[in-house]
Amino acid sequence: MLAGEARMLVDGELVGTNSGATFDVVHPASEQVAGTATDGTVDDMERAVGAARRAFDTSDWSRDLEFRHHCLMQLHAALEADKERLRRILITEVGCPVTVTGSQIESPIAEVKHWADHGRAFEYLVDTGLHDTPLGPARRKLHYEPQGVVGAITPWNVPLYLNIAETVPALMAGNTVVLKPAQLTPWSGSELGRIVAEKTDIPAGVFNVVTSNANEVGAALSADPRVDMITFTGSTATGRAILAAAAPTVKKTLLELGGKSAHIVLDDADFNSALPLAAMMACVMSGQSCVLPSRILLPRSRYDEGLAVLQASMENFPMGDPWTPGNMQGPQISETQRRKVLGLIASGLDSGARLVTGGGVPEHLATGYYVQPTLLADVDPDSQIAQEEIFGPVLTVTPYDTDDDAVAIANNSIYGLSGEVSSADMDRAMAVATRMRTGNVSINGKSHFGIDSPFGGTRQSGLGYRNGAQGFTEYLHIKTIGMPE
C-alpha cells in the first residue's frame, strides 16, 4: 500500500482545511486504513471557485494558447515520471489489480499529450464566408471561446483516468477548473493537484482540487453561480441532482451517467469467441464499469450452450489480491458496495432468476470486499436485477426468440450508454446495432471507445460527449461574429 497526498490544492497552494479535519482512505483488499485525506468544507469549495473565477477573469490563461500547451506538456512529463507512484496509489484506493492498471495509468497519461496537441492545432476562429442578408452581404466568423470556470465531479471506479478526462481538455480549451474527486478515491485527485503545483507552471487558481467526505461540498460546486459549466461522471440519481442544482443559473452540464447495457448474441455467433470475452468484461474491474454489457441476451435455440460457456469462463476467472500479477478481478470498492451487489443478486433470485454460479463471497478471500463472479439465468427483463445498474461482477442472461425480440429486450431500459452485438453476419449485426437505443455499440468485441471517437449516452445515461473532436468542443462555446465583407 502507499498513502497519497493528504492536502488539497486551492489557489496555487497545497493546504488542509482550516479545522485540520481528515477522513480515512481504506484499502479494499485488506479493509485496512491506508492513510487520510483533507476533509474539505463548503468554505474551502467557495475559496477554490473564487480562485478559479479570478484566474479566468484576470489572467491570460484563456488567451495564451502556447502557454497552455507548455504547461500541459509539463504535466504529461511529470505524470510519466510519477506513474509508478500513481499506480500504487490507484491499487491502494480502488483495489484495481496491477495486471489491468494500464488503462487507468498509461492511457490517461498519454491522453494529456493528446489533448495538449489537439488544442494547439484546433481552429478557434473559422471564417464561414459571405452570407446574403436583408442589409447586404455579411462575412461571418465563428469564434470558439472557453466556457469559463468548469467544475468537475468525478467517480471512484477509474479515478485518475476520469480526473484527467474531465479536466485536461477543459484546461487546454482555456477554462479554469475546480475538481471534486470522489470520497472513496481522494488521492487520485490530490496527487494530480500536487503534481500541478510542484511540477508545472500552471498559474495559481487555474486548477484547484477540493477533497471532502461530505456530499454538500460537491453540491456547492454544482450550484455556485460563479461556475459556468459542470462535468460529471457517476450515477444517474446524482446526475439528476446536479441538473437540478445547475438549473437556477442555467449552466452547461456534461454528464456521463449510469448504464445497463445489453449484449445481443445472435444465433450465428461464435459463442467460444464472444462469451468468454463477455465474462471477462463482467469481472475485470470487479464489474465496476458503466459501459459493462451486463445483460446477455442468448437465442433460445442455443441457450444452454451459451450458459455453459459463460459458466466455465466465470468459474475460472483469476481473482484475488490486486497486488499479485495475473489476478484480473479484485475487490469491490467498499463494504457498502459489496452489500449492494449481494443484495441485487438476492433480489434476482427472489424474482425467479436461476443461480448458475457464484452469488456470494469467495471462501478463500475472507478479508477484502470480494464478490464471486456471478451468473444468473432465466432473468425476467422487467425485474430489478435486469433494470438496475449492479456495478459488480454479475451477468444476467435472458433468452429471446427473434432478432426483433432481442432488440426490444435490449431497449427495455431507462439507460442508453453502451451495447454489443455478436454475429457472423456483419449486415445482420449492423441492422441490430442501429436499432439499439444507445450511444455506443461494439460488434464482435471491437471497441467503440477511444480518445479519437465521441463517447456519450442517450436517454438517462447522460448529456454530451467525451473524447473525439466533439469532446473537446464541449468545453467551448461558439460566438458568431457578423462583419463587413
Residues marked active site are found at 256
Return the residue matching grid coordinates 491502494: 92
CA 74 → CA 67, 70, 199, 224, distances in Å?
11, 6, 7, 31
CA–CA separation, 260 vs 235, rounded Å? 12
Q: How many Å apart are CA 140 and CA 484, to the nearest integer?
A: 9
Sign of the torsion angle spanned by Cα atoms 92, 97, 103, 106: positive
Inter-residue contact 24 to 36 (CB < 8 Å) = yes
At residue 128, φ and ψ (nearest 5 deg) are: -95, 5
Q: Are strands 22-27 and 32-38 parallel, antiparallel or unpaired?
A: antiparallel
CA distances from 3 to 37, 81, 89 (A): 9, 18, 7
Alpha carbon distance 266, 428 (integer Å):
9
Sign of CA dihedral 436, 456, 213, 156: positive
CA angle 440, 290, 459 (to 5 degrees): 55
Q: For residue 176, what are the β-bridge partners?
A: 149
The C-alpha cell at 337 is 458496495
Record the cell numbers describing residue 293, joined without a space. Answer: 454489457
